[in-house]
Amino acid sequence: MSTKKYFFSTAPIYNIRATKDIERKTIEWSTWVCNDDSYAHRYFPGASFYVVRGRARLTFPDGTAVDIEAGDFVSIATGAEATWKIDAEIETRYCYHADVPTSGNRASRVSA
């Protein structure tokens, strides 16, 4: 399997190897574990996730296919649809983009 890296300007997915900082920042995110052969999802809102363990291939309606594995950090754009082919039970820590603090709501999340 080959891994292709895309940016939102050309495809609905962005995939990189996670840094130690990314791994640390995702430690308190929600966890998702799946061992189904395949899984289909439409992303509303978009989501980012860190792959803790496992392997999968995400295929989009336009034919774009991206392989992900343990240690990857992935962001999927709002509105994207993907079918996951899960090769080995996968565990991710994920966050929906609507849950990410922005400058407009960050102050309300900071305790005094």
Looking at residue 51, which CATH number applies to its domain?
Answer: 2.60.120.10
Whether 105 shows a pLDDT value over 50: the answer reads: no
Beta strands in 2-80 (DSSP E): 13-17, 30-34, 38-42, 47-59, 65-69, 72-76
pTM of the model: 0.77
The pLDDT of residue 18: 92
The pLDDT of residue 60: 94
Q: Note whether residue 51 is domain-resident.
A: yes
Q: Note whether residue 8 is domain-resident.
A: no
Whether 101 shows a pLDDT value over 80: the answer reads: no
Q: Note whether residue 38 is domain-resident.
A: yes
Say how far apart CA 112 and CA 13 lie, in whole Å.
37
Mean pLDDT of 88-95: 96
Q: Note whether residue 49 is domain-resident.
A: yes
Q: Note whether residue 3 is domain-resident.
A: no
Q: Note whether residue 5 is domain-resident.
A: no
Q: Considering its fold, how many domains does the chain have in total?
A: 1
Alpha helices, DSSP H, located in the chain: 20-25, 103-109
Domain carrying residue 87: 13-109
Tens-digit pLDDT profile for residues 18-65: 999 999 999 999 999 999 999 999 998 999 999 999 999 999 999 999
Q: Note whether residue 85 is domain-resident.
A: yes
Q: Note whether residue 4 is domain-resident.
A: no
Say how far apart CA 45 and CA 47 lie, in whole Å.
7
In this structure, the number of other CB atoms found within 10 A of the CB of residue 18 comes to 18
The fraction of the chain above a pLDDT of 70, given in percent, is 78
